[in-house]
Structure 1
Amino acid sequence: MVYDLDSIERIGVIGAGTMGSGIAQVAAMNGYDVVMRDIEDQYVQNGFDSIESSLDRFVAKDKLSETEKAETMERIEGTTALDDLADCQAVVEAALEDMDIKQDIFAELEGVVDDEAFIATNTSTLSITTIASAIDSEERVVGLHFMNPVPVMKGVEIVYGEKTSDEALELAHDLAEAMGKETWESDDKPGFVANRILMPWINEGIRAFDEGVATKEDIDTGMKLGTNVPMGPLQLADHIGLDICLHATETLHEELGDRYKPAYLLKRKVDAGDLGKKTGKGFYEYD
């Protein structure tokens, strides 16, 4: 199977949530036609609303003109029908972090897109090899893990599964770079590079707060000033979503043992429905 970046004009994105809408946005901003698919019209509309709000921030900061914003929006079409991705030369799945859901999507997708289409998953913790096992052409499945928020963060983690071909791996790097991103590569091991290291950092920050080591503000300030990161662990957890952090940590705990055991306070916050910025309250409160 031979892949060619120049042949990709239309990109399908499965999932219109935070990650899916962000991927759709950066693809469209870089000249690709995009089909953004979700299971309900309201989810698709929410995705468009998120994209427009993000583009408005770019315009307000003079990083984008009103004309460029309009052109970007025009390149994106929404749908609830997976069949509408049939003419896409590349598809990025960004659905829920659930193995059964992802495998079902890939099994259906294989029968929709062309045999030569490039297909990738944006999973942050789940095995690329296991996701790919749901289809016959496992060699064309690769991890294309964008960082959140996608329109702002420069990094994309490229993950190869047991049967990922060299051609698919190379195209994953090329496609991410064509969207204005920078890449690094990881083997298909739990958490890959980013979350294998990031989640225990966040988890330990939550533990330190729960055990009274310092206030949440001082923990975040200490880590920002002490390690030159833009956000401390509690603030970053709120921005990612505490439910997402818990799910990622539980996955790593299952695979790698007690060093990744989720902090009690993280579980309690999620049970209470305080998921961070998206619900207006996590460790901090948001307007």
Structure 2
Amino acid sequence: MSHETVDGRTATGAPSDVGVLGGGRMGAGIAHAFLLAGSRVTVVERDADAAAAASTRVLDSVAASVARGTADQGAEAIGARFATSTDVSAFSRCGLVVEAVPEHLELKIDALTRVEAVLADDAVLASNTSSISIDELAALLERPSRFLGMHFFNPVPASTLVEIVRGGATDRQLVDEAREWVHAIGKTPIVVADAPGFASSRLGVAIGLEAIRMLEDGVASAQDIDLAMTLGYKHPVGPLRLTDLVGLDVRLGIADYLAANLGDRFTPPTLMRRMVAEGKLGRKTGEGFYVWDTE
């Protein structure tokens, strides 16, 4: 398939130039999705070492897709449309930039305001936040009508869902465009209004916290609690294994935010806080509710 761009879009309908701020696991996955849809993608990281690591993540993921036969171009052709930088001015020609920095309010606000300053007036700025209010993030932006949430799921290459979060000031036509972009990268959009935790995190974290409480209370082992959901309710992965995959620290931050905004039912269990304090964060540290091979 040709990936030549017309009127700011690729042949698939994705934006022709996409930026991703943050090249960790999530940011690299977002970059991968748009590269396979024909976009030129630039990832910006905090320093040269982080940018090099992000480049390796993205290009390895692209190579894996080519090897599986799920890409319609070779790794070299796709890689030619990819770049990294340590300067947000590299986003200046992007029609869409997705912020994918860690889930901390002050960090996200700083990142978003820096990126917005270099974008064209009609460019779109999106946050991959899984729980923070889009309206709260938009409050300090100059162009809140060009801002929305695009919440991707981990791991991005294998996940088929993107949660589009509509802020109070978000241009309604922009929501329709975002739906088209999500379809263009081969995923399915859902649209939700701005609310703490949106739809997916609010439900997913509620189940995960209750699973941790059950483990803490000795109701069943981690494996059996997860089997109850995978076999009994056909969840693709159990809530404790999923928490390990997402990261206990990430989920703890989301739970604290939801507890502050929605009440005590989201108060994190003592076991969760203790594990985070001990550095047992899940797959990325080699141990959480399960032991993981980190090699």
Structure 1 segment 56-205 matched on structure 2, within 5 A: 56-64=63-71, 68-205=74-211
Asked if the contact 1:104–1:134 (Cα under 8 Å) also holds between the matched residues in 2, the reply is no
Specify whether residues 5 and 125 from structure 1 end up closer, same or farther in structure 2 by C-alpha distance, changes over 3 A only: farther
Q: Which secondary structure does the structure 2 equivalent of 1:208 belong to? A: helix
After superposition, give the CA deviation of every residue in 1:232-284 in whole Å (9 maximum; x if it has no partner): 11111111111111111111011101110111111111111111111111111
Q: Which secondary structure does the structure 1 equivalent of 2:74 belong to? A: helix
Q: What is the CA–CA distance in structure 2 between the aligned matches of 1:83 and 1:12, rounded to whole Å? A: 11
2:235 maps to which residue? 229
Q: Which secondary structure does the structure 1 equivalent of 2:9 belong to? A: helix
Q: What is the CA–CA distance in structure 1 between the aligned matches of 2:74 and 2:202, rounded to whole Å? A: 37
Q: What is the CA–CA distance in structure 2 between the aligned matches of 1:188 and 1:256, rounded to whole Å? A: 14
Q: What code does the residue aligned with 2:44 have?
A: R
Calculate percent identity across the aligned residue pairs.
Answer: 35
| Matching of residue 55 in structure 1 with residue 30 in structure 2 | no
Q: What is the CA–CA distance in structure 2 between the aligned matches of 1:203 and 1:57, rounded to whole Å? A: 34
Structure 2, unaligned runs of 5 or more: 1-6
Match of 2:16 among 9, 13, 18: 9
Match of 1:25 among 32, 46, 51: 32
After superposition, give the CA deviation of every residue in 1:38-85 in whole Å (9 maximum; x if it has no partner): 1112222222222233334434544347x5233222221000000111
Asked if the contact 2:166–2:175 (Cα under 8 Å) also holds between the matched residues in 1, the reply is yes
1:265 maps to which residue? 271
TM-score normalised by length of structure 1: 0.94
After superposition, give the CA deviation of every residue in 1:88-126 in whole Å (9 maximum; x if it has no partner): 111111112121122122222222011111111111100
After superposition, give the CA deviation of every residue in 1:155-198 in whole Å (9 maximum; x if it has no partner): 00000111111122111111111111100011100000000100
Q: Which secondary structure does the structure 2 equivalent of 1:6 belong to? A: coil
2:4 maps to which residue? none
1:211 maps to which residue? 217
Q: What is the CA–CA distance in structure 1 between the aligned matches of 2:8 and 2:117, rounded to whole Å? A: 22
Q: What is the CA–CA distance in structure 2 between the aligned matches of 1:266 and 1:53, rounded to whole Å? A: 33
Q: Which secondary structure does the structure 2 equivalent of 1:148 belong to? A: coil
Asked if the contact 2:165–2:193 (Cα under 8 Å) also holds between the matched residues in 1, the reply is yes
Q: What code does the residue aligned with 1:6 have?
A: R
Asked if the contact 1:5–1:174 (Cα under 8 Å) also holds between the matched residues in 2, the reply is no
Asked if the contact 1:155–1:182 (Cα under 8 Å) also holds between the matched residues in 2, the reply is yes
Match of 1:44 among 51, 74, 92: 51
Q: What code does the residue aligned with 1:281 have?
A: E
Offset of residue 134 of structure 1: 1.3
Q: What code does the residue aligned with 2:132 have?
A: L
Offset of residue 206 of structure 1: 1.0
Q: What code does the residue aligned with 1:48 have?
A: S
Asked if the contact 1:106–1:134 (Cα under 8 Å) also holds between the matched residues in 2, the reply is no
Q: What is the CA–CA distance in structure 2 between the aligned matches of 1:10 and 1:61, rounded to whole Å? A: 25
Offset of residue 209 of structure 1: 0.9
TM-score normalised by length of structure 2: 0.92
Q: Which secondary structure does the structure 1 equivalent of 2:158 belong to? A: coil
Asked if the contact 2:29–2:157 (Cα under 8 Å) also holds between the matched residues in 1, the reply is yes
Q: What is the CA–CA distance in structure 2 between the aligned matches of 1:73 and 1:283, rounded to whole Å? A: 37
Asked if the contact 1:25–1:72 (Cα under 8 Å) also holds between the matched residues in 2, the reply is no
Q: What is the CA–CA distance in structure 1 between the aligned matches of 2:76 and 2:274, rounded to whole Å? A: 43
1:34 maps to which residue? 41
Q: What is the CA–CA distance in structure 1 between the aligned matches of 2:79 and 2:274, rounded to whole Å? A: 39
Q: What is the CA–CA distance in structure 1 between the aligned matches of 2:134 and 2:204, rounded to whole Å? A: 19
Q: What code does the residue aligned with 1:21 have?
A: A
Q: What is the CA–CA distance in structure 2 between the aligned matches of 1:146 and 1:217, rounded to whole Å? A: 27
Q: What is the CA–CA distance in structure 1 between the aligned matches of 2:276 and 2:48, rounded to whole Å? A: 27
